[in-house]
């Protein structure tokens, strides 16, 4: 039986079908090699949230790995709209992946004569628990064991899966990753700091995914008078920051209150997180009403 959080309709190569009928050929390169790009778009009360940022990143990702698909930004937007509408005016998030396609001869070399395969589904977006606003989340610090092109949102996520599971095994909800003492990002989130009443945002480079949510947070910081700097930061700086924040499209902005059992700041969600979260919720309400 399908989990009730999975919504009934999926999209496969142009058709809307019941999710249980969505079948992918075994010779698909996404299945065999993880040769694919994905995107996750939140939808509130049936309205796509920041879809343009997601479509832009999806198209940049396809270009980076040279998957050639003829769909335009408008076409991708329509695919997201179609799946959201079919599943109803509820809070959900759409997962969409584009694989290089099916090739009958397994070979690492990328064939040019195959058509990309597009699959999308939708799952219920659950409201944030009250516990998080009161106590924040607990995180662990781990060595970043992923590959050298984390700017590409590929479905090859084994390292992220193992890192997140390692955090869960330690009863924490996220793994904060570092390379040689420099913080990169979370297993599935962007890490930001507040230090000296300034928001520190990681720069876009090959070590991190360019986050759509951190981009929005920078806009909101501007609006609420929180200055920001874009630069790398060390583990040491993170551990002594006033606030540590996580950003991800399906999680919005979250306060990290302990790292490896040590308190961040005074161990409670901080004042800048509260202001940013309030601005985020107000922005969301405007998008829903528009
Ligand atoms: C590795 C990684 N970094 C950052 C993010 C945040 O990206 P976005 O804000 O676009 O969800 C995600 C989201 O899933 C992620 O998986």
35-70 burial code (b ≥16 CB/10 A, e <16): bbbbbbbbbbeebbbbbebbbebbbebbeeeebebe
Are 105 and 135 contained in the same domain? no
Are 282 and 157 contained in the same domain? yes
Query: Could you report the per-residue pLDDT of 115-163, keeping only the tens digit for each?
Result: 999 999 999 999 999 999 999 999 999 999 999 999 999 999 999 999 9
Percent of the chain with pLDDT over 90: 98
pTM given for the model: 0.97
Q: Judge whether 3 lies within some domain.
A: no
Q: Judge whether 95 lies within some domain.
A: yes
Q: Give all strands (DSSP E) within 127-237, no chain letters.
A: 137-143, 174-179, 182-186, 190-195, 198-201, 228-230
Q: Judge whether 243 lies within some domain.
A: yes
Which one from 115, 153, 232, 275 is the annotated catalytic residue?
153
Listed residues 80, 109, 124: the one ending a domain: 124
Are 16 and 32 contained in the same domain? yes
CATH code of the domain containing 257: 3.20.10.10
**Interval 179-198 mean pLDDT:** 98
Q: Look over the chain and give the mean of its residue pLDDT values, rounded to a whole number.
A: 97
Q: How far is the CA of 184 from the centre of ligand 1 (A)?
A: 12
Query: For residue 181, is it left (φ>0), alpha (ψ between -120 and 50) or beta?
Result: left
Q: Which atom of ligand 1 is nearest to the CA of 187?
A: 1
Pocket flag, ligand 1, residue 103 (CB < 6 Å): no
Q: Is 85 a catalytic residue?
A: no
pLDDT at 2 (0 to 100):
82
Q: Judge whether 244 lies within some domain.
A: yes
Are 110 and 251 contained in the same domain? no
Pocket flag, ligand 1, residue 209 (CB < 6 Å): yes
Pocket flag, ligand 1, residue 212 (CB < 6 Å): yes
**Interval 4-29 mean pLDDT:** 96
Q: How far is the CA of 2 from the centre of ligand 1 (A)?
A: 26
Q: Which atom of ligand 1 is nearest to the CA of 160?
A: 1
Are 114 and 147 contained in the same domain? no
Are 193 and 223 contained in the same domain? yes
**Interval 2-18 mean pLDDT:** 95
Are 222 and 265 contained in the same domain? yes
Q: Judge whether 260 lies within some domain.
A: yes
Q: Which atom of ligand 1 is nearest to the CA of 247?
A: 9
Q: How far is the CA of 211 from the centre of ligand 1 (A)?
A: 5
Q: Are 34 and 144 in contact (CB under 8 A)?
A: no
Q: Judge whether 275 lies within some domain.
A: yes
Q: Pocket of ligand 1, candidates 96, 190, 247: which has the most ligand atoms within 8 Å of its Cβ, to mutate?
A: 190
Q: Which atom of ligand 1 is nearest to the CA of 215?
A: 9
Are 96 and 143 contained in the same domain? no
Check pLDDT > 90 for residue 167: yes
**Interval 16-30 mean pLDDT:** 97
Are 162 and 193 contained in the same domain? yes
Q: Judge whether 1 lies within some domain.
A: no
Give residue 217's domain range.
Answer: 130-289
Q: Give all strands (DSSP E) within the chain, no chain letters.
A: 9-12, 15-18, 36-44, 47-48, 92-99, 117-124, 137-143, 174-179, 182-186, 190-195, 198-201, 228-230, 243-248, 252-259, 262-263
Are 164 and 193 contained in the same domain? yes
Are 90 and 149 contained in the same domain? no
Are 255 and 169 contained in the same domain? yes
Give the orientation angle of helix 51-64 with respect to helix 212-224, to 10 degrees.
Answer: 140
Q: Judge whether 223 lies within some domain.
A: yes
Split into its structural domains, the chain has a count of: 2
Check pLDDT > 90 for residue 1: no
Listed residues 93, 124, 155: the one ending a domain: 124
Residue reference for tokens 């990169």: 184
Q: How far is the CA of 104 from the centre of ligand 1 (A)?
A: 33
**Interval 267-281 mean pLDDT:** 98
Query: Could you report the per-residue pLDDT of 233-271, keeping only the tens digit for each?
Result: 999 999 999 999 999 999 999 999 999 999 999 999 999
What is the Cα–Cα distance from 234 to 180, expressed in whole angstroms? 9
CATH code of the domain containing 88: 3.30.470.10
Pocket flag, ligand 1, residue 189 (CB < 6 Å): yes
Listed residues 63, 89, 124: the one ending a domain: 124
Q: How far is the CA of 182 from the centre of ligand 1 (A)?
A: 18
Query: Could you report the per-residue pLDDT of 189-208, keeping only the tens digit for each?
Result: 999 999 999 999 999 999 99
pLDDT at 199 (0 to 100):
98
**Smallest Cα–Cα separation from 132: which of 174, 93, 163?**
174
């Amino acid at each position: 039986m399908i989990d009730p959080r999975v919504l009934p309709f999926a999209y496969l190569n142009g058709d809307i079908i019941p999710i249980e009928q969505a079948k992918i050929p075994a010779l698909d390169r996404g299945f065999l090699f993880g040769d694919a790009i994905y995107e996750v778009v939140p939808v509130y009360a049936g309205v796509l949230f920041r879809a343009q940022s997601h479509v832009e990143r999806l198209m940049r990702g396809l270009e980076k790995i040279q998957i050639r698909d003829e769909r335009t930004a408008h076409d991708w937007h329509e695919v997201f709209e179609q799946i959201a509408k079919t599943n109803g005016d509820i809070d959900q998030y759409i997962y969409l992946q584009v694989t290089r396609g099916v090739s009958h001869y397994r070979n690492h070399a990328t064939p040019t004569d195959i058509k990309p395969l597009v699959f999308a589904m939708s799952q219920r977006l659950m409201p944030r628990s009250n516990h998080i606003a009161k106590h924040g989340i607990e995180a662990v610090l781990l060595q970043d064991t992923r590959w050298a092109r984390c700017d590409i949102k590929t479905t090859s996520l084994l390292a992220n899966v193992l890192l997140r599971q390692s955090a869960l095994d330690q009863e924490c909800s996220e793994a904060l990753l570092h390379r040689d003492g420099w913080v990169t990002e979370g297993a599935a989130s962007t890490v930001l700091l507040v230090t000296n009443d300034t928001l520190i945002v990681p720069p876009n480079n090959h070590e991190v995914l360019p986050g759509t949510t951190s981009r929005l947070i920078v806009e909101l910081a501007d609006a609420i008078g929180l200055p920001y700097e874009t630069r790398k930061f060390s583990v040491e700086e993170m551990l002594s920051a006033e606030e540590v924040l996580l950003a991800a499209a399906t999680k919005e902005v979250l306060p990290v209150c302990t790292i490896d059992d040590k308190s961040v700041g005074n161990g409670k969600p901080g004042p800048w997180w509260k202001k940013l979260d309030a601005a985020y919720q107000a922005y969301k309400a405007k998008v829903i009403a528009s």
